[in-house]
Amino acid sequence: MKLLKDANLPKGFIASGLHCGLKKSGKADLALFCSEVPARAACLFTVNKIQAAPISVSRKHLKASGYHQAIIVNSGNANCFTGPRGTSDALGVAKAVADVLGIKTKSVLVSSTGIIGRPLKVDKIKKAIPKLARSLSVKGIKQAKRAILTTDTFTKALSVKVKISGREVTICGVAKGSGMISPDMATMLGFIFTDADISKIILGKVLRAAVDESFNCITVDGCMSTNDTVTMLANGLAGNPLINSDKKAVLFKKALSLVCLELAKMIVKDGEGSSKFIQIKVAGAKTQGQAKRVGLTVANSNLVKTAIYAGNPNFGRIIAACGSSGAALNEKKLKVKVSPLKRKEVVIEINLNQGGGSSVIYTSDLTPKYIKINAEYN
C-alpha cells in the first residue's frame, strides 16, 4: 500500500474547476468530477434536521439509479433553507450538467457549501457549466480541489495505491472543511474516487465504516452543519476481481480508511484559527461508544481547548469534562496523561479503567482568531 500526498485520480476519472461568480474574491467556486463510465456510488450525509437542497436532490438520484457519473459542487453558497426554489435550483444544475455531458440527470449528484439562507445564483452556475465540462481532464483535479473551499487555508487531497488480486487499485480523496466541524458529520464535503470493481452493497459498508473511524471522530467547534456529505464513486476500471464480500474487502477497506483518516486530520489541522492539533486517546471505557462520548466531550470543551491554546496545565478541565460526558467512570480509577502543551501537536490520554472500549478523537485548540473569522463570516 502506497500513500501519495496528492490527488492522483484513478483510471477513468477527470475533473475541472473555475470561478463562476459566486465568490466575490474571484477565487474558484465551481467544481466538476466525472467518471468516463458509469460508476457505483455510496453517500453519507449530515444528520442535521435541516438539510440543504442538494442533499435532497442527491438522495433522490441515489434511489433512482444504481450508477452515477458526475458530481457538481459549488462553494460560496450552501443553497440551504431556500425552500422549493432551492430544490428546483439544485435539480436545474444537475440537469444542466447532464445535458452538457450527454448523460441522465439522475446520474448527477450535487453538493454545495457556503452561506446558509441565500438563494443560489443558479444562472451563473449554468452559464459556466459548458466551459467547466470542456476543461475536464486528469490534471483538472488541481483546480477542482480549490473550487470547493470556503474558509479553508489549504487544499486537502491525497491518494492511496494498493494491489488487489494482482491489480493496482487507486483510491483518491478530496475534501474541504475548516470550521463548524462536528460529527455526524463534520461541516465538510468529501469526494472519494476509485477504479476498484466493488459491489454497491460492500462499497456502502466500507465507506460507512471508514467514515465512522475518521470524519465522525473529528471536531473543531462542536457545531454541525446542514450540507455535510461524503460521496464515493467506484468505476471498476482497475480490472480487479469483483469485491463482493466482507472478506474480499479487507485490504480495500484498510486503504479507504487510511484515505479518510488522513483527510479528516487535515481538516482538524486547518481548524479555523487553530494553532495546535490535539489527539484525545480514550481507553478503558465500558464500550467503544462510551469511549467516543468521553473523547468528544473533552474535545468540545471550550475550557479545555483554550487551556491548551495558552499552554495552561489546568488538567481539572479535562477531569470535569470526563465527568460530564455521561459515561460510566470511577474517580479513583480515572487516569489522565497530557503531553507537553507547548508543542504544536498535543496528546491527551484518558484511561477510565472500566472495560475494553477505546476511541481516538481529533480536535484543535480555540484561539482569538476563531472568533474573528466567524464574527466576520457572511
Give, for 100, the enclosing helix (H) or strand (E).
Answer: helix 83-101
Whole-angstrom distance, CA of residue 278 vs CA of residue 276: 6
Q: Are 47 and 184 in contact (CB under 8 A)?
A: yes
Annotated active-site residue 306? The verdict is no
Sign, Cα dihedral of 114, 116, 121, 126: positive
Catalytic residue among 155, 187, 194, 231: 187
Q: Are 181 and 219 in contact (CB under 8 A)?
A: yes
Cα-based torsion angle of the residue sequence 181, 188, 18, 141 in order, rounded to the nearest 10 degrees: 120
Q: What are the phi and psi torsion angles at 85 (to 5°)?
A: -60, -40
For cell 450538467, the residue is: 97
Give, for 225, the enclosing helix (H) or strand (E).
Answer: none
Amino acid present at 324 = S
Q: Assign 296 to helix, strand or coil.
A: helix
Q: Is the peptide bond before 266 cis (omega within 30 degrees of 0)?
A: no
Give, for 50, the enclosing helix (H) or strand (E).
Answer: none
Q: What is the DSSP string of 318-366?
A: HHHHHHHS-----TTT-EEEE--TTSSEEEEEEE--SSSEEEEEEEE--
Amino acid present at 287 = T
Distance of CA 205 to the CA centre of its chain: 17
Sign, Cα dihedral of 318, 319, 325, 329: positive
User: Taking the CB of residue 339, how many other CB atoms lie within 10 A of it?
Assistant: 13
C-alpha atoms less than 13 angstroms from C-alpha of 17 in its C-beta half-sphere: 20
Whole-angstrom distance, CA of residue 158 vs CA of residue 191: 11
Active site residues: 187
